Amino acid sequence: MVNFVENSTKMDFSTTHKAHPWHGISLGEQAPDEVTAFIEIVPTDTVKYEVDKESGYLSLDRPQKFSNIVPSLYGFLPRTYCSVKMAELTNLALARYDIEGDGDPLDICVLTEKDVTHGDIIVKAHPIGGLRLLDHNQADDKIIAVLKNDAVYGAYTDIEQLPKEIVRRLVHYFTTYKDIPGENTKRMVFVNTYGASEAKQVILASMEDYTDYMEKTK
């Protein structure tokens, strides 16, 4: 057992910092086939947490307005960004020209049979597909992945293999979680699902967007 008191005198805590979840964590050497995901919220959460881009800490985004809960682990892929390349992919897929990136890291849902009780963690996952969603005229894709070595979901390699009810639950959540009580306007529009191959293209595009974004902010 480490003697923390004894060893603490040898450590300089003034220079010990938690890595920023967006910029300080590697997506992984095997991306896009295997990725590191930062998880913000889990199915037991009754409020929506979101990483504060400046500090890297989880912040309270908003209480869930309705009783629906996120049916998976939910977070984002570090060192990704949804901008020009992501917009190009979406416009090409939809034969449009007016879609933009949403200016956020790429979102990811990670399926697992385990009861994970809290967010603010990183996990290894394998992308198997995605949901193409639009938030007004902005691309807001959700990558669907399975937890690495998961006893139940680990064998799935493409979203087409998933039970349809799981996909329907994901679609329902993401088309309603931004709704405002009393308003009939739908903010989130579900377009279609796509398989593992396209999901990896989306991830690569978001990685390019992140590189370009960081170059511009230097």
Question: In the predicted model, is pLDDT for residue 158 greater than 50?
Answer: yes
Residue with the bigger pLDDT between 63 and 190: it is 190
* Exposure of 100 in the CB half-sphere (CA atoms within 13 A): 5
| pLDDT tier for residue 16 given thresholds of 50, 70 and 90 | low
Q: Is 205 left (phi over 0), alpha (psi -120 to 50) or beta?
A: alpha
pTM: 0.88
3-class SS letters over 34-55: CEEEEEEECCCCCEEEEECCCC
For residues 68 and 91, what is the distance between their CA atoms, to the nearest angstrom? 30
- The tens digit of pLDDT for each residue in 38-95 reads 999 999 877 777 888 888 887 876 665 555 688 999 999 999 999 999 999 999 999 9
Residue length of the chain: 218
Report whether 179 contacts 186 (CB < 8 A): yes
- Domain 19-216 top-level CATH class: alpha beta
How many CB atoms are located within 10 Å of the residue 204 CB? 15
Question: In the predicted model, is pLDDT for residue 102 greater than 90?
Answer: yes
Q: Where are the domains of the chain?
A: 19-216
Return the percentage of the chain with pLDDT > 90, whole number.
72
